[in-house]
Amino acid sequence: MRIDILEQYQAQTRCLVALDSIIFGFDGEELKLLLVKRGIEDETHTWSLMGGWVQPEESLESASSRILYELTSLTDIYLEQLHTFGSPHRDPVERTVSVAYFALINVEDYDHKISKNFEAHWFSMQELPKLLFDHGSMVEMAIENLRYKASQHPIGFELLPEKFTIPQLQKLYEAIFGTELDKRNFSRKLLSTNLLIKLAEKQKGYSKKGAYFYRIDEEKYKKHFNNFLNFLPGSTS
Amino acid sequence: MRIDILEQYQAQTRCLVALDSIIFGFDGEELKLLLVKRGIEDETHTWSLMGGWVQPEESLESASSRILYELTSLTDIYLEQLHTFGSPHRDPVERTVSVAYFALINVEDYDHKISKNFEAHWFSMQELPKLLFDHGSMVEMAIENLRYKASQHPIGFELLPEKFTIPQLQKLYEAIFGTELDKRNFSRKLLSTNLLIKLAEKQKGYSKKGAYFYRIDEEKYKKHFNNFLNFLPGSTS
DNA sequence: ACAAAAGTGTTGGCCTTACACCCATGT
DNA sequence: ACATGGGTGTAAGGCCAACACTTTTGT
């Protein structure tokens, strides 16, 4: 190793590197966001995204899984890097560069397993409290990204239980896009992808007739990760 | 400020935070990538992306502009955050989290102004050398992103001189997507956006007939940043 | 006159949208 | 029997892809 290079490295300022997770969930009716209470300043407790520090021997991806696991005890969750936020004074305590990830989980999976170490709560996207630091911008960026992804890929499934009905899926898409969709066109488009497998079982209790359950064809889903649908109203204008 | 919070901050490991730029250019025929020679290990000089350290009082965005300026003397360049790379040992000297940005510039603008402080060279995308660290993955991700963006937005203009012809623009899109496009459909789609303004002047020398120059309508371009076109061959399949 | 690139229109198929009625079941 | 949500078909319009000839001008 050349000395001048080492000197260059030595001369640099080191920074705190953190990670924040925008955790979306769906309860069958509304799109929700999971927030935790963090006390940074005296007395004032602010709702914030779940986050943590990136550890010395940890990649960003593993940090994101670990942090999600600490809060939810869930593994194998859809997690995707969103954006890195690095304004010098975004954290008033000390400069912290934060890598934001967004996660999609099924609220039901989560509910019982909630960790006792955190005061956490699901918020409706319509009624978000004021958030810590720049977490509000992170959430805004995440919802945009979720809308885009959901219009391109069958990513929405990640927010539902393994077995789900078409009307559930439609409600989810309506919640993501904040719009109503035509059920005939919706189911036609979905089924035309051939990514859904119809099960014999029907949903009980919610409606009198009962809707058939479907599950996703994992094989095809992974292959087909491009060229999906376009649900966005007005996307062709 | 609460003492326990401060202690938590104190206990964390600080990291080097760097920034790397994937700089695309177009010379009228091919899509190019601007690389610099960096010597990290004895004797071995490797081509790498242009990069630098994020300074203490600098946001990531300003760092990306500064670093691009240092190499090219260009300002007001299209720059967009791509992804953050943070594997623990991606930099063998010391752990460095690197935020990658991609930039689009016009090769002609650049050519004369090239800084003497760097040994830099434009490489054809077909003939990239082996790159430093994980810069190869960064480039891969950037080209994918460029393709997507170019299919959605008139972003390609950023790679051309202010005045350009439709055939030039088509060559650019063909270079980005690595495919041939039908010139009738291409020009119809482009013109239908109403974002191009036809100039009286014609291009001389390249062809006998000469093609009309166009420039972009900056106003509309900025407004219209959604809902553009879809050029990707087979994107509707 | 000819070579080389620029420019321009039409058609068929497909995908999207809009729209309304019957079905199955629990009460 | 009726109320509630589930499930399905069709027709019209717009968008995209495929395709070939004429124009201009430098040599």
Domains of chain B: 15-151 (3.90.79.10), 154-223 (1.10.10.10)
pLDDT in tens, B84-113: 999 999 999 999 999 999 999 998 887 666
B16 and A14 within 8 Å at the Cβ level: the answer is yes
B177 — contact with chain A (CB < 8 Å)? no
pLDDT in tens, A42-96: 556 789 999 999 999 999 999 999 999 999 999 999 999 999 999 999 999 999 9
A86 and B15 within 8 Å at the Cβ level: the answer is no
- The whole-number pLDDT of residue B236 equals 30
Q: Which nucleotide is nearest to A236 (CA to C1')?
A: D15
Band (A109; pLDDT cuts 50, 70, 90):
confident
Nearest chain B CA: its distance from A34 CA (Å)? 22
pLDDT in tens, A191-201: 998 899 999 99
Nearest chain A CA: its distance from B100 CA (Å)? 10
Quote the mean pLDDT of chain A.
88
The angle subtended at Cα A58 by Cα A52 and Cα A64, nearest 5°, is: 45
**pLDDT higher at B225 or A184:** A184
- The whole-number pLDDT of residue B40 equals 62
A148 — contact with chain B (CB < 8 Å)? no
Q: Which residues of A touch B234 (CB under 8 A)?
A: 227
Q: Which residues of B touch A15 (CB under 8 A)?
A: 14-17, 54
- Asked if residues B216 and B157 have their Cβ atoms less than 8 Å apart, the reply is yes
- The whole-number pLDDT of residue B110 equals 79
Largest CA distance in chain B: 77
Q: Which residues of A touch B236 (CB under 8 A)?
A: 227
The angle subtended at Cα A63 by Cα B12 and Cα A16, nearest 5°, is: 30
pLDDT at residue A3 tops 50:
yes
A200 — contact with chain B (CB < 8 Å)? no
pLDDT in tens, B215-234: 999 888 887 664 443 333 33
How far, in Å, CA of B181 to CA of B191, rounded? 15
Which parts of chain B sit beneath pLDDT 50? 226-237
What is the CB-side half-sphere exposure of residue A124 using CA atoms within 13 A?
A: 7
Radius of gyration of chain A (CA): 20
A84 and B42 within 8 Å at the Cβ level: the answer is no
A7 — contact with chain B (CB < 8 Å)? no
Q: Which nucleotide is nearest to B205 (CA to C1')?
A: D26
B14 and A12 within 8 Å at the Cβ level: the answer is no
pLDDT at residue A34 tops 90:
yes
pLDDT at residue A231 tops 80:
no
Q: Is A116 helix (H, G, I), strand (E, B) or coil?
A: coil
Q: Which residues of B touch A9 (CB under 8 A)?
A: 16, 93-94
- The whole-number pLDDT of residue B226 equals 47
pLDDT at residue A232 tops 70:
no
- Label the pairing between strands B164-165 and A78-85: unpaired
- The whole-number pLDDT of residue B113 equals 65
